[in-house]
């Protein structure tokens, strides 16, 4: 399968185990989306072709760094953020008594 950037999102081809991109992207979200095109049913591999010292290399490392920052932020929120309210299981009696009021 050969596709343009339109193939970065929305395609579900379960047996794809290696994707090759001919350009890097500066967005961590697009990097994650691209990586999501592979490894659906088993371990996958993503290759980004670029030349050293070019804007593509800068884009690649920028998106990787932003993705790492995003993961660190999510871990911080997970550890320090507010906990969701505990939800107790309701019984049928709870429902009927709330209906009576």
Segment 54-66, tens digit of pLDDT: 999 999 999 999 9
What mean pLDDT value characterizes the chain? Answer: 83
64: burial class by Cβ within 10 Å (0-12, 13-18, 19+)?
middle
Q: What is the pLDDT, as a whole number, of residue 51? A: 92
Domain ranges (residues) in the chain: 1-70
pLDDT at 83 over 70: yes
Q: What is the pLDDT, as a whole number, of residue 44? A: 86
Percent of the chain with pLDDT over 90: 28
Q: In terms of pTM, does the model score above 0.75?
A: no
DSSP labels, the chain: ----GGGGSS---TT--EEEESS--S-HHHHHHHHTTS-SSS--EEEE---TTSHHHHHHHHHHHHHHHHHHHHHHHHHHSPPPPP-PPPPHHHHHHHHH-
Segment 6-25, tens digit of pLDDT: 777 777 778 888 888 888 88
CA distance 80 to 82: 7
Q: What is the pLDDT, as a whole number, of residue 20? A: 87
Q: Once rounded to an integer, what is the mean pLDDT over residues 66-81?
A: 90
CA distance 7 to 63: 19
43, 5, 4, 45: which is closest to 27 by C-alpha? 5
């Amino acid at each position: 399968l050969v596709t343009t950037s339109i193939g970065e999102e929305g395609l579900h081809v379960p047996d794809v185990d290696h994707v090759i991109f001919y350009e890097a992207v500066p967005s961590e979200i697009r990097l994650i989306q691209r990586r999501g095109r592979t490894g659906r049913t088993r371990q996958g591999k993503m290759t980004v072709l670029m030349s050293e010292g070019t804007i593509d290399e800068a884009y690649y490392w920028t998106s990787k760094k932003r993705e790492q920052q995003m993961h660190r932020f999510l871990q911080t929120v997970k550890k320090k953020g507010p906990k969701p309210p505990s939800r107790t299981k309701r019984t049928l009696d709870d429902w009927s008594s709330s209906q009576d009021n």
